[in-house]
Amino acid sequence: MDEFWDIQMDDGISRKETNWIAPMEREQFTTNRDEEENSYAYECIEFQLPHVNKTLNIRTVRSQVALLDSHVGEELWDAAKLFCSLLCNSYLSDDTIEYDKDQNGILKANNANSSSLVCGERLKGKKILELGAGVASLGMCAMALGAEEVLCTDYDKDVLKNLEFNLLSNLKTVYRENGSTFNDGSKEKLRSSTLDWRSFAASDIQSAEWIDTTVEDHANDQEGRDFYPDIVLGSALVYSVEGALYCADTVRFFLVERGAKECWILQMSERPGFDRFLLRLEHWNLIYETIDISEDVFNSAERCMGKISSNIDEFKLYTIRKASS
């Protein structure tokens, strides 16, 4: 049985850490065993990257408390598993595309339109922004697949602490895998930043009485706002009407104001507010395409990353870009 260590966070809530954390990490926290009623437990999940043959150690909050308050960002959700599987398998279920297997058994498109595909191969040498990163599984996967630079963003302070812990715990693993040499500057290539989507809300959203666009400190968003990504990634980003509008305006900002070529989002399409998200994209003259998840990607995710609790047809991949001028 895991040994647990209670830690005291800035908000005064006692939380538990599992025993896989190194002693040096434990010393950073204040032990407190007197607030059991306010505590919840973390666990470590071994997250295998298909075909990459490396395992990430991801710290998440235990599933039974993941839906409490702000802790949704500290859980490893099915959409992230599927997106990592899709990127690592490097192909999509499109019957119009012909594939050949390379020496590692990975299916790759061999037709002229392969450059428009969503696949891990296209992340090599690119600057990647992950929205709503949570436990940072997608961002770390992108780095392991050869991204030049990855910025993982979220807004909740506890989520960001856990996110940063995961990045630091897996830095050497992802650098070994993408062929780069780990050095003192490696932390700058895979890092985290605060990004509050409310700060990107357009004037029509800000003026709506039923929406709260209050942002505590815009200065904390500056690193994220100043980032110029090639590709924006996200999984399970929308689960409310209000959040859908914030998210769409944030996507617009990075595609239009920061020159990102594409945004790829893997999402359960029936989540509350997602129809509003798509309408908001159309409002900004952004176009999107919908792609089904293949059985191979789904099965690979379950085999390497754990059980997927929802059906395959509940998930869709959305590729978003600016309309051609």
pLDDT at 160: 92
| The pairing of beta strand 99-101 with beta strand 107-109 | antiparallel
CA distance 152 to 20: 23
Element (H, E) at 18: strand 14-18
Each residue's pLDDT tens digit, 18-54: 333 333 333 333 333 233 333 456 788 888 898 777 8
Expressed in percent and rounded to 5, the helix, strand and coil fractions of the chain are: 40, 25, 40
For residue 297, give the amino acid letter. V
Is there a contact between 294 and 92 (Cβ–Cβ < 8 Å)?
yes
Q: Which of 237, 235, 297 is nearest to 87 (CA)?
A: 297
Paired strand residues for 54: 49
pLDDT at 74: 78
CA distance 305 to 49: 8
Q: pLDDT class for 115, splitting at 50, 70, 90?
A: very low
Report the first-to-last Cα separation within the chain, whole angstroms: 60
